[in-house]
Amino acid sequence: MRVTALLLVALATRAAAQQQTDPRIARLDTAARAPIAALLDSARAAGLPPEPLIQRALEGTTKGAPPDRVVAAVRRLADDLGRARDALGASTEALELEAGAAALRAGAAPAVLAQLRRARRQPLMVPLAVLADLVASGVPVDSAAAAVLVLAGSAHDADLVEFRRAVERDIALGASPATAATGAARESILDVNSSARTGSARPRRP
Amino acid sequence: MFERIVAHLRAPVHIDPAFGERVMAEIATLPTPTRARPAAAWRRLAPLAALAVAASVLLLIARPASSTRKLQFVLVAPQAATVSLVGDFNDWDAARTPMRPLRADGAVWSAVVPLAPGRYHYAFLVNGSRWLPDPAAPRASDDGFGTPSSVVTVSGT
């Protein structure tokens, strides 16, 4: 019994040690390894997902970015993940936190994330990702946030993705990003309301 | 002559009553065709330096029973010798996901990657040295790495 307990403790210690020393750290520039490892440890201690952080570090390293930029990007992302959790709640899932961090980085206010949490019972990864993607497409952050907030209460993930595609399509056709977002939001609301009434989706634009 | 042809065409055709059943039985043995979503429309894109006119289409090609989905990434890069798909899904390892030419002329490159729900950063690495974002996908936020990346979000629902 005692031997079994000792064995379990040893295995747990080993697992913890392996978690602490992610082998992918070895791929980073030597100057970046220690600060990145420290950021990963801090994230784990704070209950934040470390995987997005190691991926940003690997991205910067693979692209040949200077170590100080890689560390700065990872630190910025860790801060964003923490801010996202503050806005979305302590029990927020990792995928939502990552999308929330992207939305914050795009310029959305933490209050928007909190409003989304209240407005939607379903997972928030897709609405947050759509918000970030719209801003990246040039839609003013206030317009993007307003549109996503309106849709988030009743739209399915697929509706939100279709909304984002419609905005991108209209921008590609020459509409201003704000106009494209407004028009697509109006259509998406009609779609969602129509689906709710009839139980079937309205035909979409090609 | 004309009347003989008409009479021949008007003559009743005798079909084996079991013919229909044999056809249906044969059809039942055929594999069920995979239903794929239609590809997004190709976009007209600006030239990217001297390398290529590049375009890409992200195409959902299948959805297995699990929440993991197979996504096809496509890049049009007529002058490329090699293209790799590099991103969060392969630890940014350029050797892990080489893209294959879809056509004999090597202009269209493709890779299919199974992805669990999540939000992934990625980019194309052309000829081992030139990074290209996906022109058909949203851009990732600028991390100051010098070259932009794209993002793809895989929904769990």
Q: What is the ipTM of this complex?
A: 0.82
Number of inter-chain CB pairs under 8 A, A vs B: 96
Distance CA B71, CA B69 (A): 6
Average pLDDT of chain A, as a whole number = 87
Residue of B119, B129, B151 to mutate for A, most A C-beta atoms under 10 A = B119
Lowest mean pLDDT across A31-40, A45-54, B22-31, B103-112: B22-31
B145 phi and psi angles, rounded to 5 deg: -85, -5
Residue pair A193/A159 in contact (Cβ under 8 Å)? The answer is: no
Residue B50, pLDDT score? 35
Across A8-36, average pLDDT: 76
Distance CA A11, CA B111 (A): 39
Residue A178, pLDDT score? 86
A57 — pLDDT class (breaks 50, 70, 90): very high
End-to-end CA distance of chain B: 68
Torsion sign (Cα): B111, B112, B114, B116: positive
Pick from A69, A105, A132: which is nearest to B145 by CB?
Answer: A69
Confirm or reject contact between A64 and chain B (CB < 8 A): yes
Distance CA A98, CA B123 (A): 19
CB-CB under 8 Å, A123 with B156: yes
**A168 neighbourhood in chain B, CB within 8 Å:** 138
pLDDT in tens, A117-171: 999 999 999 999 999 999 998 999 999 999 999 999 889 999 999 999 999 999 9
CB-CB under 8 Å, B151 with A60: no
Confirm or reject contact between A25 and chain B (CB < 8 A): no
Q: Which of A138, A137, A114, A140 is nearest to A128 (CA)?
A: A114
Distance CA A143, CA A135 (A): 9
Provide CB contacts within 8 A for A81, sequence distance 6+.
A43, A48, A49, A52, A53, A97, A98, A100, A101
Residue A176, pLDDT score? 85
Q: Which stretches of chain B drop beneath a pLDDT of 70?
A: 1-66
